[in-house]
Amino acid sequence: MKIEGGCLCGRVRYAGEADPIFVGLCHCTHCQKHTGSAFSGVVAVPTPALTVTGPLKSYVDRGDSGAASRRSFCAECGSSVMDDADMMPDVTMVLVGSLDDPSWFRPQMEIYTDSAQSWVALGGDRPRFGKMPPRG
């Protein structure tokens, strides 16, 4: 599938063709801060499948695992665009809000629901995990 998007000012753009590895929502407090919202919607794709142009800056963050995560945003307008984590090498998580056409996005799971805002009640029957789901 074709994945295209970018930041608010248009200086950062990304494009690629890949089937998503997963699509989901993260309610962790770090994602809430990074997006300025109640949760982060992400589409994880193989990093080699994406081409990124423009002035990205990254902030190195550490979650509860202690592993580094890079939260990338436009150096010009500050729009959050993507994340990558040492726990998942060669995977980039594109933020749904940065997609040109997010209409196809249907989250398959929710993680860190223990940190979800009390007023967030999303419907659906997708799996929900209080923290990070077991890897396997």
Taking only the tens place, the pLDDT of each residue in 104-126 is: 999 999 988 999 999 988 888 89
Residue among 14, 35, 17 at smallest CA distance from 26? 35
Token digits of residue 93: 């998580």
CATH architecture of the domain covering 2-115: Beta Complex (2.170)
User: What DSSP designation does 27 have?
Assistant: -
Strands across the sheet with 13-17, in order?
2-6, 13-17, 50-53
* Domain assignments of the chain as residue spans, ordered by start: 2-115
Pairing of strands 40-46, 22-26: antiparallel
Predicted pLDDT at 108: 94
Residue among 104, 86, 95, 80 at smallest CA distance from 1? 104
Residue among 99, 25, 14 at smallest CA distance from 53? 14
Which residue in this structure is represented by tokens 């998007």? 5
Q: Is the pLDDT of residue 25 over 80?
A: yes
pTM here? 0.90
- The number of beta carbons lying within 10 Å of the beta carbon of residue 73 is 22
User: What DSSP designation does 26 have?
Assistant: E
Q: Is the pLDDT of residue 10 over 60?
A: yes
What is the mean pLDDT of the segment spanning 12-24? 96
What is the mean pLDDT of the segment spanning 71-97? 95
61-70, 99-108, 125-134: segment of lowest average pLDDT: 125-134
